[in-house]
Structure 1
Amino acid sequence: MLNSCAPSYQSIHQKALLVDTHNDVLSQVVMEGKAMDQDLTGQAHTDLARLKKGGMDLQVFAVFCDETYGPGKAFAFANAQIDSLEATAKRNPKQLQIVHSPEQMQEAIKAGKIAALTGVEGGHMIEEKLDNIDHFYQRGVRYLTLTWNNSTTWASSAADEVKGNGRKGLTDFGRQVVQRMNSLGMLVDLSHVGEKTFYDVLETTTKPVLVSHSCAASLCPHSRNLTDDQLKALAKNGGVIQLNFFSEFLDSTYNKRVNAFIARHKEDIEVLEKQKLSGLAFRDALYKKFPEETATLNPHISVLIDHIDHVVKVAGIDHVGLGSDYDGISSAPTGLEDVTTYPMITKALIERGYKRKDIEKILGGNFIRIWKANPGNAAASK
């Protein structure tokens, strides 16, 4: 039984520093013509008002494009997304502030604003040029995910390593990428990378690394998740894994349930597909049509807490955080439907017996620690 005199979960959540290291609203929503400062309920997981309601202090916005954006396109599209975030902040100076350092983050939070960082998701966006890393850093990018599902010429992805596609690990140029990031103060992000790349990076980096949006493979075997050996190596490095909210990465039985549901309702789904609804609108229409069945498809929020428990057990309390992947995922656990629901994580952690200081580490403290452990080069940051 909880102590009736203990602070409420709302109070603990409000006072803690909340960080989410991966949100795809820029590439998946804003670049499709919607504005984050509008009410996007039912259209997206994220908008500014709902981020504030969820208690967000520091949101890292992912800058993303897939492998179809080749040389001459990927770097430009990445910059266009950063432009879009800057435009949003300019329109909403009392709500959103782009920050480049922990000190600027504290200033923004003190002023009642959401602090915004960017992270580039996919090494192909540097287009084989170290100078493009410098450019991104100058624009405020504070992590680079070395690969997406597609490998680069210099680093292999988890998806390709599992399929046996091409060479594995880092090349000499890949090591130069890591070294350049270390010298600048840009976090090396190892979500999406293959195991060989993962370990090559840990042998190369001189700073703690980030895994911005992945889960535990022991609980859900998936190439996007980290094995226990990787979690232990991450802890030895001093890094942090930020847990993804995607149902498929949390629950190994999720796809089986979904496939069975689709098979039962193929004709109804085809009718809805003809309406060309957005992802969330399509889901909502489908869920309203079959409420009892769809209520059992997604895992419960408790499954995310199971992953937190596992990482804490294997790697320690200092090496886990939150990287939702909102607006980059098609399904989140029941109880985590959008960015307003972060307080439910705090509530669930209290119910699992986590103490306030450890909850504060999970909600944001661990990320801030590794961000500070990757100090920027004074000359580069001017």
Structure 2
Amino acid sequence: MADLQDDPHADPSLPVGPGSVGIEDVSAPAAVPGALERAAELLAVHPVADGCNSLVWTLSQSPYHDIDTPDTGIDTDIPRLRAGGVGAQFWSLLVPPGRTREGGAADQVVSDTLELIDVALALVRRYPDGLRLGLTADDMMDARNKGRIASYLGPVSGATLTGSLGALRAFHALGVRILAPAGAPWAREGLTAFGHEVVKEVNRLAMLLDLTGCPPVAACQLAAASKAPVIVSNTGAAALTAHPDNVTDEVLLALRTAGGLAMVTFDTARTGDSLHAVADHLDHLRAVAGPECVGLGAAFGTEGATPRPTGLTDPSGYPRLLAELLERGWPESDLALLTWGNAQRVLRDAEFTARAAQHRRTP
């Protein structure tokens, strides 16, 4: 790993060495010092691209939080993101179930989503030394090289599209790059004719489809219909934990065929109550989908006492997770894909697909 420390593109703001792993979690399991040092060195070059964080919703409800300093009320702030080696973050713009006002009417879902987009953009503007808006795959590397955390907006709910693609294009113009079909009428029981048009337009705009929460039949159909890779931004292995939002092996194989990405969450209900249990889910996804189709989507950003696995209670725990995977025999090349490479690939592949689609399809 000596070459990692000499990498000219390494972000000096990210942790390097065992003494800079981050904010201490006294409940965290101990890692072998050599593995922890190697994990920190790897994160300095291949930081984590985290597929899911709900901080935007939390800030929309509690705008007084200052994420430049650690806050015991929430689990995400810039110091802990840096301590964990996070170099890119996908900020979820989904309204939690049951929280949409006025009974969840379609126009209210759109209004709530627009408010979250406004909060997300204000967040990036407020912390220019820590965050940088991500619109393209190149922005991910550019932000890292400049010591910033690339911030991608999305997903937004597919329920915001009510028979017209205009809302989708408007979201894209505002900076949104991910759409979640789960629960949308056009993808609930499989793709409708309008659903197929949504997928084509998502591809044309170089956006990503996030299949989190989709039933297996719909997820497999969406993965097959999309010309670009799809993601599951926060999930676990249903074969290990029978949770409705965890991916089945059937879906994992569909992702493998489509070059998609399943990103493992840190949620005790879905991936167990310990760092070791989360590592078990990563092992399973890697075995079934392949190392090119596994990522990390912790789903941090909540306010209050959300149950988290021991050792992974906030983003600063990422080096310990990588140390555990090193001890399990994961090669560093696979870890580089897990943290950074796979997320960057799906963004680049989506852009490649969009360039091809724009020659064939107009809005």
Q: TM-score band, normalised by the shorter chain?
A: 0.7 to 0.9
Q: 1:54 to 1:350 in 2, by over 3 A?
A: same
1:312 equivalent in alignment to 2:286? yes
Q: Is the 8 A contact 1:244 1:324 kept in 2?
A: yes
Query: CA shift at 1:4, angstroms?
Result: 6.2
Gaps of 5+ in 2: 1-31
Q: 1:242 to 1:6 in 2, by over 3 A?
A: closer
Q: Report the TM-score, using the length of structure 2 for normalisation.
A: 0.82
1:342 equivalent in alignment to 2:318? yes
Amino acid at match of 2:247: L
Find the counterpart in structure 2 of residue 93 from structure 1.
128
The structure 2 residue matched to 1:117, chosen from 152, 170, 175, is 152
SS of corresponding position for 2:312: coil
Find the counterpart in structure 1 of residue 218 from structure 2.
197
The structure 1 residue matched to 2:266, chosen from 232, 245, 254, is 245
The structure 2 residue matched to 1:223, chosen from 227, 244, 265, is 244
Amino acid at match of 1:353: G
Q: 1:352 to 1:176 in 2, by over 3 A?
A: same
Distance 1:71 1:115 in 2: 31
Amino acid at match of 1:346: L
Matches within 5 A, 1:56-71: 56-65=86-95, 66=97, 68=100, 69-71=104-106
The structure 2 residue matched to 1:22, chosen from 36, 44, 52, is 52
The structure 2 residue matched to 1:181, chosen from 180, 202, 205, is 202
Distance 1:374 1:339 in 2: 27
Q: 1:3 to 1:36 in 2, by over 3 A?
A: closer
Amino acid at match of 2:277: V
The structure 2 residue matched to 1:366, chosen from 342, 345, 348, is 342
Q: Report the TM-score, using the length of structure 1 for normalisation.
A: 0.78
The structure 2 residue matched to 1:232, chosen from 253, 262, 267, is 253
Query: CA shift at 1:29, angstroms?
Result: 3.3
Amino acid at match of 1:138: A
Which structure would you say has the larger Rg? 1
Task: Summarize deviations over 1:48-94 as a string: whole Å, max 9, x none.
Answer: 22212221100110001146332222222212222222222222222
Find the counterpart in structure 2 of residue 154 from structure 1.
186
The two structures, once aligned, show a CA RMSD in angstroms of 2.4
Q: 1:56 to 1:47 in 2, by over 3 A?
A: same
Percent identity, please.
Answer: 27
Q: Is the 8 A contact 1:64 1:78 kept in 2?
A: yes
Q: Is the 8 A contact 1:75 1:127 kept in 2?
A: no
Distance 2:168 2:119 in 1: 19
Distance 2:288 2:131 in 1: 36
Distance 2:219 2:306 in 1: 26
Distance 1:105 1:9 in 2: 21
Find the counterpart in structure 1 of residue 9 from structure 2.
none
Gaps of 5+ in 1: 157-167, 252-298
Task: Summarize deviations over 1:333-356 as a string: whole Å, max 9, x none.
Answer: 100011221111111111111111
Instruction: Count matched residues.
Output: 319
Q: 1:6 to 1:75 in 2, by over 3 A?
A: closer
Q: Is the 8 A contact 1:240 1:320 kept in 2?
A: yes
Q: 1:198 to 1:71 in 2, by over 3 A?
A: same
Q: Is the 8 A contact 1:74 1:127 kept in 2?
A: no
Task: Summarize deviations over 1:124-164 as a string: whole Å, max 9, x none.
Answer: 123443111111112221111112xxx222122xxxxxxxx
Find the counterpart in structure 2 of residue 34 from structure 1.
64
The structure 2 residue matched to 1:214, chosen from 235, 245, 248, is 235
Q: Is the 8 A contact 1:54 1:343 kept in 2?
A: yes
SS of corresponding position for 1:375: helix
SS of corresponding position for 1:249: helix
Amino acid at match of 1:242: M
Amino acid at match of 2:73: Q
Query: CA shift at 1:3, angstroms?
Result: 11
Distance 1:6 1:31 in 2: 37
1:49 equivalent in alignment to 2:79? yes
